[in-house]
Amino acid sequence: EEEEEATLRELRIFLREICAKLARNRTFYIFTKPVDEEEVPDYREIIKEPMDLESMMTKIDKHEYECAQDFLHDIDLICTNALEYNPDRNPEDKVIRHRACTLRDTAYAYIKAEMDTDFEEKCRGIRDNR
């Protein structure tokens, strides 16, 4: 109903700010846009469900997140994709894995610090009853 729509509007505003803040951090630059197939031709042979921060911003605007947990699920996907595509001991892979883990931990920390648990519970109720 209308109160639920007001709650989801507030969630979208909150998630946009979190997403923008992550995308502004140069450490996470590699995760801000979809991997270019021309530059990395084998990427989509290995990673079946690509995800990135720009795509997440679009999902927010298309009302595809109904609670912070759903948003964090896509953050986790960005992270696990990077760990899977960059498994080797060489320094380049290690740096990308470290950045992926830092993205995940930073996103969880921002949401824990800035999101009211009652608000998230209300959002979960809306999601679970739809």
Ligand X SMILES: CC(=O)c1csc(NC(=O)C2C[NH2+]C2)n1
Least distance CB 15 / ligand X (angstroms): 21
Catalogue the long-range contacts made by 71-76 (C-beta closer than 8 Å, 24 or more residues apart). Answer: 71/15, 71/18, 71/19, 71/111, 72/107, 72/108, 72/111, 75/103, 75/104, 75/107, 75/108, 76/104
- Rounded CA gap, 115 and 38, in Å? 39
Stretch of 2-10, 30-38, 103-111, 113-121 lying at the interface with ligand X (CB under 6 A): 30-38
Minimum CB distance to ligand X smaller for 20 or for 40: 40
- Of 76 and 93, nearer to ligand X (C-beta) is 93
Choice between 47 and 126, CB closer to ligand X: 47
Interacting residue with ligand X among 4, 25, 35, 115 (CB under 6 A): 35
d(CA 53, CA 29): 9
Q: Which residues would be at the binding site for ligand X (CB under 6 A)? A: 30-31, 35, 40, 82, 85-86, 92-93, 96
